[in-house]
Structure 1
């Protein structure tokens, strides 16, 4: 899309102690799990690391088919969506807080930048589509702040495609950390998990309208569009966002579920 520069970027070094830390980085570099999000009460959410590290599947391709203009993949992980879009000639940039995720995306031939979505980004206000797939609607643990920030990144009328959890009643904000089967763990950080109804409630309050909902491969997706008549919200000032996604050093960083 004219006006959006997706040339290679310098990848700053550093570590913010969340997704960039072992065991997440170690698992990304090997492409193998198991890997989990763990709550303070011991609850575990298995992360689909092998799927993230594989080629885009049919459900992914249905999402990508709907993309408009230049695409920003927020929390691109190991880069399967960036690579698939690039192979189709689409202008696309992945951002992720994990150095290992950026390295893997670049190794696939994609463009990626180590950066939090809440930091300054190329092409702000000019992206045609933003992706929050593989649970990345949970980034920062504050859905409203994330939706407001995404609105700032998109052009007027831009499209946001998000993946939600299969439980329609879920609307959860939790502290989690990444852990593996050996018990190695990163630092705790805020995360959110939303079913489609919860996401739509938050989206409506942030000036978005739902344009489509669908399921594919046992996964749930929502397409939202910015209301062109609504003034863009002020930059979010969420404590949760600051602690988990804003870099502590002059660097950036990512997720999962991939987020």
Structure 2
């Protein structure tokens, strides 16, 4: 199976500007701002804290070596290492990687679509905290993740609590007004609920393994955090890139 041809439009503003500033300070406010002005709050304070109950509900299911895609400041990398897993975080933000490694974790500043270590040999991959949206093409991201996993490996995805399936162009926005720092910079992002994720998960690549919810979640007050586990259903030949 070859790497899908997708746009590398994964977000220049993740690497600098308000996102990097928020990770350095551990505080928001931070948003994804759609072109129509709608704002999606990003939970910087939670990302910069330790793994919470909802996170641990996913981490307990991890098998073997774990790849955390879009690791952010590294709370999941740290928690998995504490549980005895070999774990690698990847992120396009140098600030995120620096924070992860400063805390003792292992992380690389790379896109998921770049060549990565141990392709075809990871036991579990994580797409939490909305990272199923990376690149704005859920099917391409799922296909790429299948390349990274070992045969019968596990992918754990956090989905939106809303029944949604959207692909939009957004900007990272900081400050209390939510105005983006660079109005000429935008990138594609996706948001999917559980039903949409299962529609996008090609049956020749994925078998649904579990679905669960945990109370909480700041993006929709009072809503649950929602998770789906998918089992890689195709026998893959390990790749040696990276």
Q: Report if TM-score (shorter chain) is over 0.5.
A: yes
The change in CA–CA distance for 1:228 and 1:206 in structure 2 (over 3 A counts) is closer
Q: Indicate the residue corresponding to 2:139 in structure 1.
A: 144
Q: Indicate the residue corresponding to 1:227 in structure 2.
A: 233
Q: 1:113 is paired with a residue of what secondary structure? A: strand
* Equivalent of residue 99 in structure 1, options 85, 94, 98: 94
Partner Cα separation in structure 1 for residue 35 and residue 234 of structure 2:
41
Q: TM-score, normalised by structure 2?
A: 0.86
Partner Cα separation in structure 1 for residue 70 and residue 208 of structure 2:
22
Q: Which has the higher contact order (CA 8 A, sep 6+)?
A: 1
- Give the aligned length: 215
Quick check: 2:204–2:233 contact (8 Å CA) kept in 1?
Answer: no
Quick check: 2:13–2:171 contact (8 Å CA) kept in 1?
Answer: yes
Q: CA RMSD in A?
A: 1.4
Q: Indicate the residue corresponding to 2:169 in structure 1.
A: 175
- Gaps (5+ residues) in structure 1? 1-15, 233-259
Quick check: 1:126–1:154 contact (8 Å CA) kept in 2?
Answer: yes
Q: 1:63 is paired with a residue of what secondary structure? A: helix
The within-5 A match list for 1:1-259 is: 17-168=12-163, 170-181=164-175, 183-186=179-182, 187-205=185-203, 207-217=205-215, 218-228=224-234
Q: TM-score, normalised by structure 1?
A: 0.80
The change in CA–CA distance for 1:194 and 1:206 in structure 2 (over 3 A counts) is farther
- Gaps (5+ residues) in structure 2? 1-10, 216-223, 238-242
